[in-house]
A and B are shown apart, each in its own frame.
Chain A
Amino acid sequence: MKTPQRLILRDMLPLAFAAEPQKHSASEIWLREVMEFLPGQRHIIRSESGGGKSSLCSYLHGNRDDYSGSLTIGDKDARRLSVREWTELRRSVIAYLPQDMGLFPTLTAMENIILKNRLTSHKTRDEIMEMLDIAGVASLADRPAGKLSIGQQQRVALVRTLCQPFGILLLDEPVSHLDQRANLAVSQLIDREASAKNATVIATSVGNDLQLDGCLRLSL
């Protein structure tokens, strides 16, 4: 599949927000005639809790389609994509870090990462260890994910997210549980990987932002 990095939102609004205009009246994304995310651009999308950040990520990742308006990925309407096409997008186009991280607690940190990496064999084991090292969790590679702190889990999940080819990096509150130093480390890692792929970065935040240079900050 050709890497479709353009995301275009037209008049998009979660159906649940239709009756609550106060939730989206000041939004720079919801109900915009055309909202476009282009290759190489980096966006921080800020909102309070309940503003629809996770909903937006779910729409962009194909988990939900309870919205009005339309979403175009590459040149295709997201609602018309088949299960097979979404699977292919998830493997090689859209890398997604969900807010709940989605780690499997019984598997070790490394097993969680390999579970993703084996789908495309994108990174070698050494490269994975190097990324874990940058994120400050290399020593925890063989520990069950369920035994890690939330901050450690967040960093392991981020490394796992980067273990695939991507044109769009979708991060739902990626540093919400990290201190300043860890935030800087993972921000540098994200910057390196996204730059190498000229990827679109979309990261949500409730206040603790990813420390990326050249970000467009949008309120939701």
Chain B
Amino acid sequence: MVWKLLSTNISRRQIAAYTAANIIGMLIIGCALQLYRDVIPSDDTSSDPLGDIRYTVVSRPTTNAIFGGSPQGISDNDIDDIARQPWAETASAFIPAGFDVTVGLSFGGGGFSTALFFEGVPDEYLDVKPSGWDFDPLHPQVPIILPRDYLTLYNFGFAPTRGLPSIDEQTATLAPLKVTLNGNGISESLPGRIVGFSSRLNTIAVPEEFLLWANERFSPGVTPAPRRVIIKLADPGNPEISRYLSSRGFEESGNGDASRLSHFLRIGAAAVIGVGVLICLLSAGILILSVFLLLQKSRATISGLMNLGYSPRDLSGYYLRLLAAVNTAVLLLAGGATVAAACWWQHRLADLGIYAASVWPTIATMAAILAIQTSLSGWITWRIIRKIWQE
């Protein structure tokens, strides 16, 4: 009955205009947010369409190395300083080998061998955790992870020109390797095996535990300075990363493009979200103006009801319920449309090997925005009705 009185002056057109504007605004916010979350994952457990943008490897350039210069080392202080930066989560050095390495492969009575290098990488930076990735000093065997690019280079570059067969990753892991380590006047051969291929690490990686053991044995008392650092980034698109690394004389390997793309995507998404927020603010403005006009038109009714004993809170409650109902409809429609749109693009992204983020955080964000909008409008309504009381 009270609502019958209060709703007399409600303009359906104004409510419809507000609802439509708010749906469009929320849809833009929802889609931009979800697309951003799909393309730039927030943790390293999900797929990473831009490459491993949460990891980057840096080194100090060795421009004169070919003429006798040596690569500049990276100190523990450098690594600690990197790890303290707000955009970095953790940083760790690639532990270099202080001994010579030769790897040989025997097959069918023939075989070949080549000089290689090893670097030790803490397990937490691996993108693959293959079985056999461990080291037992009592039964030493060297597990190796190769960059995936090396296999590609062999299969599509080297093998066809030499009439050699292509090999897949599974076959490569079956090859028995002979790893010869030279240093400290000792030469020792150990069995080795390729246990996996990495897209993240551009090095020939062995377990950190093995390298520490081997350095102790083949180059005792010498601790070679690390030359490369792997960084797990907390904020991959942050432009401060490049500035910091340049200022400290570091060079990023490989990750720069992905990082720039990530930064660009972030700016793009922020701009689109900004447009959505602007539309939502405008629609909230329409709503508040409509409520203001409505209350002015209903002034006598509101005053009469307060004379009967209805409080400003009672009366604003009726308007708040209307706002809540309208915004619930906005959430259902804009949320539903966002989910439908996300399903459409997520199918296409899945074809590219990109697996989508959950839509629930996006829906929860939309619900939170609408809840704030509803509460703010309800509070303004209550304030206006209180003012009518005081007049």
Contact = CB atoms under 8 A, between A and B. Distances in A.
Interface in B1-54: 1-2, 4-5, 8
A83 B301 CA distance: 18
Interface in A111-143: 111, 114-116, 118-120
B311 A87 contact: yes
Given A83-B312, A83-B386, A83-B389, A102 B307 contact: yes
A111 B312 contact: no
Contact of B309 (A104, A106, A111, A164): A164
B389 A98 contact: no
Contacts of A84: 311
B325 to A, nearest CB: 22
A91 interface: yes
B213 interface: no
Interface residues of B, number: 17
A22 interface: no
Contact of B310 (A107, A111, A119): A119
A107 B5 contact: yes
A173 B306 CA distance: 21
Contacts of B305: 115
Contacts of B4: 106-107
B1 A114 contact: yes
Interface string A2-18: 00000000000000000
Q: How large is the interface on A (under 10, 10 to 19, 20 to 34, 35 or more residues)?
A: 20 to 34
B312 A104 contact: no
Nearest to B301: A104
B317 to A, nearest CB: 13
Contacts of A102: 304, 307-308
B307 A90 contact: yes
Given A104-B5, A115-B1, A90 B386 contact: no
A105 B115 CA distance: 100
Contacts of B307: 61, 63, 90, 96, 98, 102
B308 A119 contact: yes
Interface in B269-327: 301, 304-312
A117 B310 CA distance: 11
Interface in A56-86: 61, 63, 83-84
Nearest to A161: B308
A107 B1 contact: yes
Contacts of B5: 104, 106-107
Contacts of B2: 115
Contacts of A115: 1-2, 305, 308
Nearest to B308: A116
Nearest to B8: A106
B304 A83 contact: no
Most buried by A among B301, B304, B309: B309
A111 B5 CA distance: 11
Nearest to B314: A87
B5 to A, nearest CB: 6
A96 B389 CA distance: 16
Interchain residue pairs A-B with the least CB separation, the first 9: A91-B309, A87-B311, A90-B309, A102-B304, A116-B308, A119-B309, A115-B1, A104-B5, A111-B1
29 contacts: A61-B307, A83-B386, A84-B311, A87-B311, A90-B306, A90-B308, A90-B309, A91-B309, A96-B307, A98-B307, A102-B304, A102-B307, A104-B5, A104-B301, A104-B304, A107-B1, A107-B4, A107-B5, A111-B1, A114-B1, A115-B1, A115-B305, A115-B308, A116-B309, A118-B1, A119-B308, A119-B309, A119-B310, A120-B309
Interface of B: 1-2, 4-5, 8, 301, 304-312, 386, 389
Interface of A: 61, 63, 83-84, 87, 90-91, 96, 98, 102, 104, 106-107, 111, 114-116, 118-120, 164
